Amino acid sequence: MGERTTYVELDVHTAMIAVALRRPGARELITWDVPHAPEAVRRFTRKLARTAGEPEACVIA
């Protein structure tokens, strides 16, 4: 972990998943919502893998 780690936090609710992402070396969080539906989650995970690589840890609250 450290300067090359992308941190991802998921706050899962019935209808939506709140996402917070912090890129390596950044101080600010990028936040958005993803619909809690199978296809939307698949799109999110593909996008995350393309832009952030394989996450080392995900916190689901």
Banded model confidence at residue 61, pLDDT cuts 50, 70, 90 = low
CA angle 32, 36, 39 (to 5 degrees): 100
Buried b / exposed e across 27-41, counting CB within 10 Å, b at 16+? eeeeeeebeeeeeee
Residue 38 maps to a domain: yes
Q: Which two tokens stand for residue 12?
A: 């899962």
State how far Cα 13 lies from the chain centre: 15
pTM for the model: 0.77
Residue 2 maps to a domain: no
Residue 33 maps to a domain: yes
Work out the percent of the chain whose per-residue pLDDT is above 70: 80
Number of domains in the chain: 1
Residue 27 or residue 4, greater confidence: 27
User: Model confidence over 29-50: pLDDT tens digits?
Assistant: 999 999 999 999 999 988 888 8
Residue 1 maps to a domain: no
CA dist 35 to 39, 43, 58, Å? 9, 10, 18
Q: Which two tokens stand for residue 28?
A: 């600010």
Range of the domain at 11: 7-60
